[in-house]
Structure 1
């Protein structure tokens, strides 16, 4: 939850008060004119009111007798609330789920199988990484809603002063840019060319995937860790190279939230951070002087000219198994996943989940960086057990801290983390 929740960007959702009619137990298109209520739960911060107002009005106008009962939910405690609602006799008809939550509810058989509806729900436009998060036991249990991913956010003025004329397009160029920033700011002992916390494991995923490795592999019906492979360890080694060369003063035993890296970037003493759009917005809010001095570029690959794979955090839309209006719900998802409303999401700063057209997103530097890297996005293992990895003593964080601090050599840190990860995934 924590990892992907922070990815909702550029929009603030407010509940739309729509008077409800009596809920019908009949399913169908709603064109009969019989009064029906379609209950939709979206999450706080996911969609701007301009989008939801227009969407709900258009849907109601085209479905006689149907009222959309739109409710905005808070992220805090949502998993428990969904668990209760999905097993009740009167669940909502459309729900938003984090893409790391979907497999849990699909495995519990509380979501409607939409495998036969993919083509009607704009399936040919789905981001491939998000499609993977919807798949459980070979079936599709929802529609991608939106996503965001990390990019390298940098100070354009500091790059210019250091003689860096273009954004790096490879790891080697990235490291070279770090060295130039350090040299140009050597007189300032507080300067950090790149702020990189020791436990920023979502960033680590990019390096592992770029090396051709993964955190876990499916074995039969289960999953086992893959952190002890040469490819995964190569990703960890590059992470350490960045830490060692960047001049970062970030703690090695904490992630980007402790302290909030946007606050550190906002001090004006940092050349780069690997972050999300909302973190840049937070830094600019704290230090308005940065407004016209920042840019972004995709996390570079070790292969020149390519972008590294990125973790796609975001949300999916699903229909509860107990919905009393499943056909109406499918029509609602079809409308929301169409180009009109996906473009509105992009204009708000989110990577559209069901549109390969990112032109609306690429209208500013950070949106352009998101648009360039999102097609190469991936998700964490689609297993209900993954939630315990993030919520518990995260083995990837432990591995990074142990190796970066010198408490363990790489082979031992990777082996210990892999054993812990495999145990959690099996449990």
Structure 2
């Protein structure tokens, strides 16, 4: 399941407990901590990390260079750069208005949180000053640099950064996407079957990447993509399922994941991602990444598209402080599994 779904299913008893001994056998403390936490409930392990991905910036280096711009070193430099790159037909930074999964990086970069927990009680913290600061900065970059509608979410941003799109949507100088988006970017070439595919950004004079910078430099925390893996509580053959976990967390399988461009769950095998800029940027951004709150009601929050609605209202110019208070009141009971 997706990493953000793990808390809810763990809390309602959908998964079989992974014993402390099996947890240690599968990797223990070497497993990606934030993903382990997402699958924990009541001090026990129920879901473990399967693979991780991280987000970074893909950009048209030729467009940035022509505008006299270099890779930004701070979050404010990024904002100013992509605002300068916006034209009537080109987003300086293509971002859909409902795209909260990318947008919460601005919250995390400013030290904000979506929610906090006291014991077992969760509280939405959109009204926290740091969270508001991040949301206001996201509002500025969306309104100042993106041409995409406030209703857009789950957009294939790579279509905008490539040449040769069908012309139905604005082009983009910069996008934010998971590392595996690389294989949807670049010049068109023929594969072994004679089909047109993207070359994975071979021409580094046109296409390149960088990590979203933090407020004061370094790397901003971004939302980590990826999945968790668990055993059904009603499994008829749990011992066989545990053997499958042993295969998944074996060195051979973990290295196979890394070789396919997916971050392996066990940190010992991160080097299997490779040594090129794509692998190193993924590792660097993943180390700084964060997950959504491990609240029992999180799956219901996602299912109700609450954050999509919030970000849409912010994108349309709504007062961030007022919206934060409005959505805190809505989200807090939902996070705790209340309707």
TM-score, normalised by the number of residues in structure 1:
0.68
Deviations 1:124-156 (A, max 9, x none): 221122111111111111321101122111112
Runs (5+) with no aligned partner, structure 1: 1-96, 183-187
Report the secondary structure of 2:51's partner residue. Answer: strand
1:330-380 Cα shifts (integer Å, max 9, x gaps): 343233213322121111111112234422324443333211111122221
CA distance in structure 2 between the aligned counterparts of 1:108 and 1:401, rounded to whole angstroms = 31
Contact 1:342 1:355 in 2 (8 A): no
2:254–2:269 contact (8 Å) kept in structure 1: no
Q: 1:215 to 1:177 in 2, by over 3 A?
A: same
Deviation at 1:238, TM superposition (A): 1.0
Instruction: Please say which of residues 167-176 and 234-243 is displaced more in the overlay.
Output: 167-176
For residues 425 and 339 of structure 1, the distance between their equivalents in structure 2, rounded to whole angstroms, comes to 37
Report the equivalent of 2:128.
Answer: 229
| Matched ranges for 1:20-419 at <5 A | 97-116=1-20, 117-165=22-70, 167-178=71-82, 181=85, 189-246=88-145, 248-257=146-155, 260-267=156-163, 269-284=171-186, 288=198, 291-292=202-203, 293-304=206-217, 306-394=218-306, 396-406=307-317, 408-419=318-329
CA distance in 1, matches of 2:277, 2:61: 11
Measured in 1, the distance between the counterparts of 2:246 and 2:308 equals 39
Find the aligned partners of 2:274 and 2:60 in 1 and give their Cα distance: 19
CA contact (8 A) 1:197 1:252 kept: yes
- Coordinate RMSD, CA, aligned: 2.5
Q: Tell me which residue corresponds to 1:22.
A: none
8 Å CA contact retained: 1:122, 1:334: no
- Structure 1 residue 179: Cα displacement: 5.2
Asked if 1:423 corresponds to 2:333, the answer is yes
Check conservation: 1:125, 1:355, Cα contact below 8 A.
yes
What's the CA shift for 1:412? 1.0
Larger Rg: 1
Deviation at 1:176, TM superposition (A): 4.4
In structure 2, do the counterparts of structure 1 residues 134 and 265 end up closer, same or farther at CA, with 3 Å as the change threshold? same
Counterpart secondary structure, 1:302: coil
Counterpart-to-counterpart distance in 1, 2:197 and 2:314: 34
After alignment, is 171-180 or 342-351 more displaced? 171-180
**Secondary structure of the corresponding residue to residue 310 of structure 1:** coil
How far residue 328 of structure 1 moved from its aligned partner, in angstroms, is 4.2
- Decide whether the 8 Å contact of 1:158 with 1:271 is kept in 2: yes
Structure 1 residues 180, 335: closer, same or farther in 2, change over 3 A? same
Distance 1:137 1:389, change over 3 A: same
CA distance in 2, matches of 1:104, 1:372: 29
In 2 relative to 1, CA 244–287 (structure 1 residues): closer, same or farther, beyond 3 Å? farther
- Where 1:334 maps in the other structure, the secondary structure is helix
Calculate the TM-score normalised by the size of structure 2. Answer: 0.84
Q: Indicate if the aligned counterparts of 2:60 and 2:161 stay in contact, CA closer than 8 A.
A: no
SS at match of 2:52: strand
